[in-house]
Amino acid sequence: MTLERDAAAQVAKVLSEALPYIRRFVGKTLVIKYGGNAMESEELKEGFARDIVLMKAVGINPVVVHGGGPQIGDLLKRLSIESHFIDGMRVTDTATMDVVEMVLGGQVNKSIVNLINQHGGSAIGLTGKDAGLIRAKKLKVTRQTPEMTQPEIIDIGHVGEVSGINTDLLNMLVHGDFIPVIAPIGVGPDGESYNINADLVAGKVAEALKAEKLMLLTNIAGLMDKQGEVLTGLSTEQVDGLIADGTIYGGMLPKIRCALEAVQGGVTSAHIIDGRVPNAVLLEIFTDSGVGTLICNRKRQ
């Protein structure tokens, strides 16, 4: 009996702590980039779907953008299509792009939609080609070494960057009580498909919607200092300093730059959170402690 009371008391405490946050974020849009370990563990997938449904149930408007790099790599291997990477980006020829569309727009997208709907949500799966949701252009990649007189232009195929977002479509879905689930495939001026980094798509969607939060799920605890401690509550100026002194480097740089651009473009705050933690999204939104790194543009606050 005592254990049951203790458990009930803990539930009441959690709900009490969450209430001010629920009130604060009712009616607000949150863009969540979903990927990494959170997308591979069955337990974490179930927890993520429940989190998203709960957010919608209490009046918050989640928009999900997902990745799927490992799933693409697996199918390419099964089809004996070799993968090549330049500066961390997958070289995407026509055959590879067909696989990307099949995996991201089909297999991965529909599995996420189905999982959310199984937990009581009303999710709608989209790619950037639906109603011109993600307008894109070819990403130009250059490389220069000291001995070169001018940069070398590298063609990495159907890899793109975002040139525009159809906010009318997203707003119609969000305000119609649907949960958009977006695969990061863009469409070019002539209808060509482009593979786009999911973090970048999430950032641009958050900017276009003037979202309250951009949340990037990762496979690490957050942004760490040189002593291995998680940093949070950072201003854009502090983040610039951490890039300059080498604290932020390598694979974390693109994610951090995405978060910076989002808050500088009108998003209230960006969060880099540990997707390996059960219920990471709810913990970051509805508790005092959170589970990752928060970045905000304090000049706007």
Residues making up the annotated binding site for substrate are: 68-69, 90, 195
Q: Which of 79, 74, 195, 46 is nearest to 129 (CA)?
A: 195
Q: 147: helix, coil or strand? A: coil
Q: Binding site: which residues?
A: 68-69, 90, 195
Given a contact cutoff of 8 angstroms between Cβ atoms, the answer to whether 165 and 134 are in contact is yes
Tell me the CA distances in angstroms from 29 to 91, 159, 243, one per residue in order.
33, 28, 29
Q: Check: CB of residue 42 under 8 Å from CB of residue 57.
A: no
In whole angstroms, give the CA distance from residue 280 to residue 292.
Answer: 9
Alpha helices in 26-68 (DSSP H): 42-57
